[in-house]
Every structure is written in structure tokens, then in C-alpha cells.
Amino acid sequence: MVLRSNQVKKGIAKAPHRALFKACGLTDDEINRPIVGIVNSFNEIVPGHIGLNKISEAVKAGVRMAGGTPLEFSTIGICDGISMNHEGMKYSLASREVISDSIELMAQAHQFDALVMIPNCDKIIPGMLMAAARINIPTIFISGGPMLTGRYKEKKLDLISVFEAVGKVEKGEISEEELKIIEEYACPGCGSCAGLFTANSMNCLTEAIGLALPGNGTIPAVYAERIRLAKKTGIKIMELLEKDIKPSDILTEEAFSNALVVDMAFGGSTNSVLHLAALAYELGRDFDLNLINQLNKKTPTLCKISPAGEDRVLDLYEAGGVEAIMKELAKKNLLNLNCLTVTGEMVSKNIEKAENLNPRVIRPIENPYSETGGLAILWGNLAPGGAIVKESAVASEMLKHTGPARVFNSEDEAFKTIINGKINTGEVIVIRYEGPKGGPGMREMLSPTSALVGMGLDKEVALITDGRFSGGTRGAAIGHLSPEAQEGGPIAALKDGDLIEIDIPNKKLNVKLDQSELKKRLENWVPPSPKVSKGYLALYARLVSSADKGAVIKR
């Protein structure tokens, strides 16, 4: 085995390099071993990340047990919840590119032999996935794990419970005092927020796609089992290095299909499609959104985990986790079982002993919640490039809906109107100029959608946007409309009162206008000035692709 790190440590010419390693306290023996980069996204502001130092220490112990030298470095991590509903959310998706770039810089500059990625929250996981694909050296993932479920009066809680409670206060259903109690108990400790939101969706999909050991997505953050898994991960990376198993060997088209099928089955975040498209871009592949609907048709929905139902990721863990879901899916040949994973084994071996321990949480495939999957791509004159909806979290009354548009040019404007009770039953809220370029940064719309739910309007009002949604969003919330308004997409031409037709079962999203009228409006449209003129966001807005291409920096 020829080590990449030999370029920074072998031979007479590298004596200065070895001197610098020794300045860090390394012995000759440690320098001579394979050097494994431990990418730790620990910080003290993100609850999913405050416990990552313990994970890192366990990983390093595993690497040392297996004969390697672990060297840790950090990357940034933004908390989507704290950055929600203000200017900070413009930076969340944009941070994904900084994360992937910073890992590339560190890994290539120091010639690590292998990498262990330690993410936990929304943009950190896909940022690390993108880096893994780009660098393409042996790599394995170990997340910090999900948060435990909050409880109040025997009712399960999570972060979204707090967002929705804000709307209930405005409607007069609960008092501010009760909101305070919900705030106290919703998030009981460290970990990624307890529902199947973007962070937990992506951690589960990292497992499903083959880049993490079984249990990565669902073992709770505070369980000793996760520490043991971290040690096993450290040991396993040395095996991957010995066998030269790289991300390109694992991230095949069949593996992507497996990840999407699992995503459909458990009703994951709409953001997972955005991130898988970005991962495909790093591999030099096209990501066809039509594949989503093809898989949607044949993949049953097996879970109803928050925000789609009352179960949380803890319940999924206790029911058998991702492997149990995959075992159910395999019964109808919906997975490719011959995909290689970081266990060194194929998917078939990984799920061989898996068992569905709670058929209420993970429905048997013979008795699904729905015969179709949890995500859908909509097409039409409002979304020539596609739009996405979490179908499994839409009330049956809203699967088909036609209503007049209420048009807003920012999330802030829309949220203020919603919270002041000025949205009418049947309307379709349109929030535009919040896409990757227009935002810039494609803000999540959790505050408006949660307010609608809290005010009891989620079965009466739809929302469409060229922005995106939190994995915690539920209701008829349709995002990622492409092309976005800032690029002259049809959403830019909408006016108050235009009739919007939503038909989720038939995958359609249209405005009832003559094509000539729509064309005339777009010809007369003048793009607004960029909202940001300096700093990283200005650069991001100039370089970023549309949402249907993954909102990636075009390189």
C-alpha cells in the first residue's frame, strides 16, 4: 500500500516536514503510520454539534487501535433553527460550499491517506459528502446522532413543535405561558433535532447510500452505543484504506437509487433531493428529477415520522432503524442489494439480520401508509424546471387545490402577513426572489409554514416558492420552483389573484393563464437589483446554479 502521506513525510527532502510533525508532538512511529484526517464540525452553538468532541475522541481511539495516526481538523457548522427567519438563513445553504471547499483544501494540502467525516446537521452532512466525492480517498461518515424526543403532558415534542406553537399563540389556542413550557421541553439535549428533518434524513441516507456503518442515522446522540459505533468507524477506516475502497467505488448510480428509495419510504426532507443532486454534480453525473417520480410510483411510504406524524427518530431507532426499512423494501426487490458499502460488504449482507421491531413505526411493506413514496416533483408552466413537495406530509384535502395567488417578494413580507391573520382561506401564498440567486442563499420557509400549521390553515392554504423548506415543514408547501424568479422564471410573472392549480397526484403545478399572457408578462419583466453587493453571498449569487441542478457553485 503506497500512502499519499509519503509525499509529506518520506525521504531526506521531507526532513523539514517531519520536523513540523514532531513540533505537534508526533513520534517517528506515529509519522510513519497512515495519517487519517478526522474532520470534526464541533462548535458550541449548534446543539447537534456540541457533543462531537466525544465522537471524535472515540474515532481517534479506533484509528489508533487499528494502527493509524489520527489528526483532527475542523470545519464550520450553522444551526438552521437559530438562523431561521432572518438574514442568517441566507448563509445556511451557501455554507455547504464553504464546508466542502475547506475540507478539500485541508485534505489536499496535507495529503491525508484517508478521512473520517463527523457531521450532524443540515448543510454539514452534504458539504462533507461533496468533499468526499471530490477528493476520492477512503472515507467514512459517523454522525453525532439524533436528539432525544421532548415531552410535555405525555405529548411528544421537537423543535417544530415550538415553531408551530407560535402560530397557536397568535390564533389564541394556547397562552404565552404554555409556549414557554413547550420551549423548555422541546429540545432535551444534544443531537440533531428529533424529527425526520434534513439533518436526520441526510444522516440516514448517508447510511443507505453506503458511506456510514449501520446505525449511523438513528442511534441517539447520548447513547453509549454511538461512542462504540464511533470506535468501530475509526477501526473500519483503516480497513477501507488497506483495501483501497474509495467513495467512487460506493457512490454508484445504483447506490443513489437505493438512497432515494429509502428517502421515499420514510418520507425524508425535500432538501435531500437538493443535496443528492449536488453530490451527483461532484461525481460528474446528471441528476434527473424525473427519477424521483419514477421511484415515487413504485416505492411505498412505510413511516410517518415528524413532521408527517407523531413518531420521532428515537422511535425509528427502536423499531430497527434504516436497516429494518431496507429489509422491508428488499422484500419487493426495490433495492439493489449488490452495492458495496463501507462495511466492506454488500447491502445484502448489511441487512441480513435486520428486523422490523415495531410494525406500527415501520409499516410492513404489505401494509404501507401509501403505495407511493413521500416526495414528488411537480411540473407545469410555473415550474418548467421542476418543483418539489413532501407529499407524505400534505393533508389529503390539499393534494389537489386551486386558489388565487397572494404574491410576496420576500419571506419576511409573507410571514408578517400570515402572523397578522391576513391570509384568506383557499389562497395560494407565493414567495419569490428567495431562490439560490435571488435570496441569495435559498432561505428555508419554516416560520411561514409552521405559522400556517399552528393557525390551522395547513388544510386550507398552500404555499409555493423558489426558496426551500426545512425538513420540518408540513402541509401543501411546494419549493425549489425552477427557474427561480431572479432568473426570469414564470413565478416572477405572477400577480395577486392569478389562479394557481396544484395537482400533486398527477405531478402538476400551473397558473391558469394563456401562454401568450404569461409570455407577455415575462417579456416586460425587469430583474430586480441583487439584494447583496459584497461579501461571500455576493460571490455565491454570481456563481450558484438553479435548484434543479442542486444549487451548486458552477466550477
- Counting every residue, how long is the chain? 555
Give the C-alpha separation, 171 to 8, whole Å.
63
Dmax (CA) for the chain in angstroms is 77
Beta strands 400-408 and 462-465 are unpaired
Which residue out of 272, 470, 482, 546 is catalytically annotated?
470
Residue 91 neighbours by CB under 8 Å, 6+ apart: 78, 83, 441, 536, 537
Return left, alpha or beta for 183; rule: phi > 0 is left, psi -120 to 50 is alpha, else beta.
alpha
DSSP per-residue string spanning 6-54: GGGTSSGGGHHHHHHHHHTT--HHHHHSPEEEEEE---SS-TTTTTHHH
CB atoms within 10 A of CB 177: 8
Cβ contact 358:319 at 8 Å = yes
- Dihedrals φ, ψ of 49, to 5°? -115, -10
Of 397, 388, 395, 392, whose CA–CA distance to 363 is shortest?
392
Q: Residue 299 corresponds to which amino acid? A: T
Q: Residue 362 corresponds to which amino acid? A: I
Of 250, 236, 216, whose CA–CA distance to 336 is shortest?
250
Give the C-alpha separation, 374 to 200, whole Å.
15
Give the C-alpha separation, 532 to 427, whole Å.
31
Give the C-alpha separation, 48 to 540, whole Å.
26
Query: Which single residue is written with the C-alpha cell 416586460?
Result: 524
Instruction: Give the SS3 label for residue 71.
Output: strand
- How far from the centroid of its chain's Cα atoms is residue 237's Cα? 24
248 catalytic residue (yes or no): no
Residues with a catalytic annotation lie at 470
